[in-house]
């Protein structure tokens, strides 16, 4: 009898292991509707991250060919041609929007190019704020995902207590398993989404700050010939 019971133990262990191992989709399905919402917003976060990684690149914000063309035009004080070059840019960029708008406003101002720097700084800040707004969606998902996970936890625990309340006598484990599983899985899903979303949000914000500073220095170099010429004209006139 001892031998038979010993031989039956591996089969029982194998049956337990078969029941324990489940697919990822089965775990996600146990999360219920709240778990599916977390999965959907995670897909949205992935799309926004991919889009921002594509947009927030130096070559896209400040195309090298555009920089070289504007450098040559502004060195010769060809302001109208520089404005036209910004308009005709293959795809609108940080530099074309900031410098194009700044040159247009300065050329119409009674102060001329003396107002160019303040105008460029104002337009540059607007562009930086625009990039921040496009990244804020990732931060929103990073904040909402753990709250949805907590909501799923509360809903699951309420379901577990309802099962205990409505059961005559002690509740069986299988009556509680579904609600407790939902409570735990939604928490895990919320954290799985929130942690990388928070990391990418911080990374993208820092990347925007770094690139905007670098490109701002490039724009300063581009407009320097216009400012120096206006200053020399003003001093000679005085």
pLDDT digit string, tens, across residues 100-125: 888 888 888 776 667 788 888 888 99
The single-letter DSSP state of residue 104 is: H
**Can you give the pLDDT at residue 11?**
45
Q: What percent of the chain has pLDDT over 70?
A: 70
In the predicted model, is pLDDT for residue 207 greater than 90?
A: yes
Exposure letters 196-216 (e unless 16+ CB within 10 A, then b): bbbebbebbbebbeebbeebb
**Can you give the pLDDT at residue 22?**
57
Distance CA 188, CA 146 (A): 9
Please, what is the angle between helix 64-75 and helix 94-108, to 10°?
A: 20
Distance CA 85, CA 176 (A): 68
Sequential DSSP letters for 52-71: HHHHS-HHHHS-HHHHHHHH
Q: What is the pLDDT of residues 163-175, one digit of tens each?
A: 556 555 555 555 5
In the predicted model, is pLDDT for residue 9 greater than 50?
A: no
Length of the chain: 238
**Can you give the pLDDT at residue 134?**
85
Among residues 161, 186, 163, 192, which one has the least CA distance to residue 175? 163
Q: At 156, is the pLDDT very low, low, confident or very high (cuts 50, 70, 90)?
A: confident
**Can you give the pLDDT at residue 33?**
83
Contact yes or no for 34/186 (Cβ under 8 A)? yes
pTM (2 d.p.): 0.75
Which has more pLDDT, 155 or 237?
A: 155
**Can you give the pLDDT at residue 212?**
92
In the predicted model, is pLDDT for residue 27 greater than 90?
A: no
Q: What is the pLDDT of residues 173-203, one digit of tens each?
A: 555 555 566 677 888 889 999 999 999 999 9
**Can you give the pLDDT at residue 173?**
54
Q: At 238, is the pLDDT very low, low, confident or very high (cuts 50, 70, 90)?
A: very low
Among residues 13, 9, 28, which one has the least CA distance to residue 182? 28
Share the mean pLDDT of the chain: 79
Which has more pLDDT, 90 or 48?
A: 48
In the predicted model, is pLDDT for residue 45 greater than 90?
A: yes
């Amino acid at each position: 009898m001892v031998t038979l019971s010993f031989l039956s133990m591996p089969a029982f262990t194998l049956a337990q292991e078969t029941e324990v191992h489940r697919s990822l989709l089965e775990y996600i399905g146990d999360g219920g509707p709240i778990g599916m919402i977390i999965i959907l917003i995670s897909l949205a976060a992935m799309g926004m991250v991919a889009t921002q990684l594509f947009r927030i690149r130096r070559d896209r914000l400040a195309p090298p060919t555009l920089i070289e063309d504007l450098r040559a035009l502004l060195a010769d004080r060809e302001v109208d041609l520089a404005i036209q070059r910004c308009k005709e840019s293959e795809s609108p960029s940080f530099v074309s929007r900031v410098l194009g708008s700044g040159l247009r406003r300065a050329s119409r101002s009674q102060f001329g190019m003396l107002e160019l720097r303040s105008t460029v700084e104002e337009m540059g800040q607007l562009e930086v704020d625009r990039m921040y707004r496009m990244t804020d969606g990732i931060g929103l998902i990073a904040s909402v995902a753990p709250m949805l996970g907590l909501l799923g936890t509360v809903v699951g625990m309420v379901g577990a207590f309802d099962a205990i309340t409505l059961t005559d006598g002690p509740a069986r484990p299988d009556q509680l398993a579904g609600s407790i599983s939902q409570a735990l899985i939604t928490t895990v899903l919320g954290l799985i989404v929130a942690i990388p979303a928070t990391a990418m949000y911080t990374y993208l914000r820092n990347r925007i700050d770094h690139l905007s500073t670098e490109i701002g220095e490039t724009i300063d170099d581009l407009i320097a010939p216009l400012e120096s010429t206006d200053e020399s004209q003003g001093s000679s006139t005085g």
